[in-house]
Amino acid sequence: MKALFLIRVRDPLPAQYDLKQLEAAGTKEFEPFGEVSDFSGELIEHPFGSAELYLQASSGGGISDYIVWRSDTGDAFLFRLHNPKGEEAWDFAGPVLVSLSTVQSDS
């Protein structure tokens, strides 16, 4: 069985997005995958260490991340990632997270 890696990037969030509303939506979306943990501001040496919101849920099928991140240009994005368990997953996750942390809006 092949592992399924999934990344969904939402276009830039509107300028006046509601972080509490996004947190509630992310928690509700990820609850079926297991206990939802909030790592916002806790990931010091991580590409998304400065994420405004970093929710994560883990289950037998892998790890799911829900990230609200603001780029250096000031655009905010919502990223959803699913990383299956296994050695390949770790090889995949690092480069993907570093790449996503450089996303900027076209405008």
CB-based contacts of 40, cutoff 8 Å, min separation 6: 51, 52, 53, 54, 55
107 residues of the chain, pLDDT tens digit each: 455 667 777 668 998 999 999 999 999 999 988 899 988 876 555 666 677 898 999 888 788 889 898 877 888 889 888 888 766 666 766 666 666 666 666 65
How many other C-beta atoms lie within 10 A of the C-beta of residue 37?
13
CA distances from 51 to 7, 54, 87 (A): 17, 6, 26
The pTM of this model reads 0.79
